[in-house]
Structure 1
Amino acid sequence: MKFRCLIVDDEPLAQEVLVKFIALVPSLSLVQKCDNALEALQVLHSEKIDVLFTDIKMPELSGLQLARSLSSAPKIILTTAFSEYALEGFDLGVTDYLMKPFSFERFLLAVNRAVGGKDPRDTAAPPPAPAAEPEFLFFKVDRRVVKVALADVLYLQGYGNYVKIHLRGARTLVATDKMTNVEKLLTGATFMRVHKSYIVALAHISEYDHASLAVEGVTLPIGDVYRKGFMETMKAQANG
């Protein structure tokens, strides 16, 4: 399925960047790009929009005023060069805040936070449990954007600005991203960071002790900083 996007920005170059980035993500579809918030309001009243990318400082009506005016808002990602509006933006419940100029990797992180593997148009579905992981994430792999089902992930291994994703079936992907970024998106009870270099899918752990754990025959270390939290989590799961 495609998540329908709307761009609102009075700078043509900023629009071009977002158009390019949206086109690189297979599950995103650009509905329209608008030069101002008043034009965007007309689109929002006539089209179903899932993700709204809006600048803040615009003539007549700002991006923040636009967000406040929406009774049933899509996921909102602010794009701006002015960091002083960040707190006000998050008070309005925006999904993310992109500081111009932003990279494709940072854009992808915001998109992952917005779509979260769920269809935001499915209002009949029950609300997700707090701090639950999405069903999938997008990763930049070479020159492609790859959709990865988290149910297939065994563990993730960090290498500086890269993350090696180990999947079921002895498959691996090397994504351009940092472990800290990925960890922010995996905040529920399914995955856990057990070492500065490893995030593990708890369901795939076959055995463990205080120093290490095993995932499908691969032994991974447990870092000192993460040991207490890991042991408490495993004990809680065992007690059910």
Structure 2
Amino acid sequence: MTATNKIACLIVDDEPMALSLMEDYVAKIPFLELKGKCSNAFQALEKIHEEKIDVVFLDIQMPELNGVELSRTLSKNTRVVFTTAFDNYALEGFKVDALDYLLKPYNFEEFYNAAVKAKEWFDLVANASQASFSKEEIDYIFIRSDYKQLKIKLNDILYIEGLKDYVKIWLVKEDRPILTHSSLKKLEEELPVNKFMRVHRSFIIALDKIEAIERSQAIINKQYIPVADQFKQKFQDFVGRNSLD
């Protein structure tokens, strides 16, 4: 999200009336863009893994997986505004660095003020990013694996494979991948777009490691990696820009 773009948001609550109220409030705020509404944390996780969500307006007390537990699984780029009928959760909200904490029943003004806090935070991040070096200048990342932070050179990455709550990072000259507790979405946000591309729900590939392309599959290190329909046009555009014919 940049200072000029809308904030992509998700609303999550197991009470239909509360969900409907948030939907109405979001529609009244011009800088918010509603990307979806979910009635439980598992639906929210699936949605967050599918596309980039800037902020989640999140109920805390939900069955099976509550809002605080869900928030702990999110990347640093997805922020949370908690909504709850119980004020005893406020401390938990601050522990997970929530942007704000709305106590039900809240009104539009309170919801709007929380949304403004989110906008101010993302504007600050966007301005700081413009002042710092771009991701294209990064040539390594740190990955937590086996209780260590491993430094991985981007040029050594062949492709990255998603496995629900984990990812495998396959490297040049290594028979076994590095396994880390993360998501493809989180890594996709950190990697430079001129070097890596998401081609499937389960795969990110290093563009310079493609050996051949066959039947909508990228061949890397003798592995056939499928290019899903939703990523096919972007991948074909890349191939076209780098083709001689």
> How does the TM-score come out when normalised to structure 1?
0.50
> How does the TM-score come out when normalised to structure 2?
0.49
